[in-house]
């Protein structure tokens, strides 16, 4: 009987030893695999791969991440809404259809209330570089913005970018002062931008970036609320005749990653993505400035006209846009969001990079 008990005890201890050894071996192997595992991530964009948001931001970011991870992270890139429309990219990333996407905050007033506000309100950032660095600091320091505009949507920002100020581009009529827009159909991204154009008597038409050329060509719209490089990427410069440069909002976009995908990446990979994003944010603004100047020069050389506003004309734009900003803040102060608080911090950051 004692021998039988001893045999059973010995068998149990042997089995436990094997299980413990197996678990230990499995943990080691998983750790080793995590370090060595190659990852391919799907990245979706609404821009063509000729756009500056690709050539100056997305492409160098992907290349830098692959370099920093020594080839362990690679990307499948899907441009021009191949994985879904611009208005759907945030949800598609949250749902895992894309691992990473370029988000246009202007299209998501309900999902990204603070970023949408900062993009839509006129007369904020003066340059792309200034806006990009100020918004980067804001995202890093504002838990309200990070939580409500990103984490609540199941995504995390790895790179953020603010465009140069939007301008007004038209096919057949020159715009110099706000009243010139009365009755004109203008392409906007919707939300606050549409509200602003309505306030000065224009007719905002919400269409995507990819639809703009055809809409201008067919006369569905007569004007586009765009910055120069977006005009170039849409191909619409060949059918536009005039440009005028009051500050009528910006585009805030960048790269967001599915939060579950992010949490599944190794710490080294996460650091590589953040480092690559920091590097691109530091350099992209200067590239945009150079390319914008070149585009504007070429536009004029090819027969287009960019209005040189008088001081009085510029004052009319400033008055209209400042009045709109105050009106919008007053109208929306009771909806539960700390708009004015976030806006004031952003303005402080903008002053830092002026």
Query: Given a cut of 70, is residue 243 above it in pLDDT?
Result: yes
47: Cα separation from own chain's centroid: 11
End-to-end distance of the chain based on CA atoms, in angstroms?
Answer: 89
Q: Which CATH architecture has domain 167-249+298-336?
A: 3-Layer(aba) Sandwich (3.40)
Rounded to a whole number of angstroms, the CA Rg of the chain reads: 25
Query: Given a cut of 50, is residue 246 above it in pLDDT?
Result: yes
Condensed to tens digits (0 to 9), the pLDDT of residues 160-189 reads: 999 999 999 999 999 999 999 999 999 998
Residues forming a β-bridge with 186? 204, 223
Q: Tell me the whole-structure pTM to 2 decimals.
A: 0.86
Nearest to 200 by CA among 320, 27, 59: 320
| Interior angle at CA 53, CA 197 and CA 299, nearest 5 | 65
Mean pLDDT score of the chain, rounded to an integer?
89
Nearest to 137 by CA among 112, 162, 113: 162
Residues forming a β-bridge with 166? none
CA–CA separation, 97 and 251 (whole Å): 24
Helix (H) or strand (E) holding 264: helix 259-264
Give the domain ranges of the chain: 38-164+251-291, 167-249+298-336
**Domain 38-164+251-291's class?**
alpha beta
Q: Do domains 38-164+251-291 and 167-249+298-336 have the same CATH topology?
A: yes
Residues forming a β-bridge with 161? 253
Model confidence at 24, pLDDT cuts 50, 70, 90, reads: very low
């Amino acid at each position: 009987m004692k021998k039988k008990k001893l045999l059973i005890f010995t068998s149990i201890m042997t089995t436990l030893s094997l299980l413990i050894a197996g678990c230990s071996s499995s943990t080691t192997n998983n750790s080793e695999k995590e370090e060595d595992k190659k990852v391919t991530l799907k990245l979706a964009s609404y821009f063509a791969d000729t756009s500056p948001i690709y050539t100056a931001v997305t492409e160098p970011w992907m290349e830098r991440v692959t370099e920093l991870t020594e080839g362990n992270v690679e990307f499948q890139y899907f441009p021009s809404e191949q994985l879904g429309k611009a208005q759907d990219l945030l949800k598609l990333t949250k749902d895992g259809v894309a691992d990473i996407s370029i988000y246009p905050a202007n299209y998501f007033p309900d999902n990204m209330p603070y970023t949408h506000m900062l993009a839509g309100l006129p007369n904020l950032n003066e340059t792309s570089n200034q806006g990009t660095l100020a918004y980067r600091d804001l995202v890093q320091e504002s838990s309200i913005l990070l939580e409500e505009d990103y984490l609540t949507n199941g995504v995390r920002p790895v790179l953020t970018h603010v465009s140069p100020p939007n301008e007004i581009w038209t096919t057949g009529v020159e715009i110099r002062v706000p009243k010139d827009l009365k009755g004109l159909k203008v392409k906007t991204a919707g939300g606050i931008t549409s509200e602003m154009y309505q306030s000065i008597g224009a007719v905002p038409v919400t269409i995507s970036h990819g639809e703009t050329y055809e809409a201008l060509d067919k006369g569905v719209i007569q004007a586009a609320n765009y910055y120069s490089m977006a005009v170039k990427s849409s191909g619409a410069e060949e059918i536009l005749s005039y440009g005028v440069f009051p500050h009528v909002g910006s585009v805030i976009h960048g790269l967001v990653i599915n939060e579950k995908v992010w949490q599944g990446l190794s710490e080294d990979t996460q650091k590589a993505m953040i480092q690559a994003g920091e590097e691109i944010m530091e350099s992209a603004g200067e590239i945009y400035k150079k390319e914008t100047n070149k585009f504007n020069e070429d536009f004029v050389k090819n027969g287009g006209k960019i209005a040189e506003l008088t001081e009085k004309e510029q004052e009319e734009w400033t008055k209209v846009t400042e009045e709109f900003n105050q009106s919008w803040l007053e109208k929306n102060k009771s909806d539960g969001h700390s708009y004015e608080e976030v806006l004031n911090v952003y303005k402080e950051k903008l002053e830092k990079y002026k």
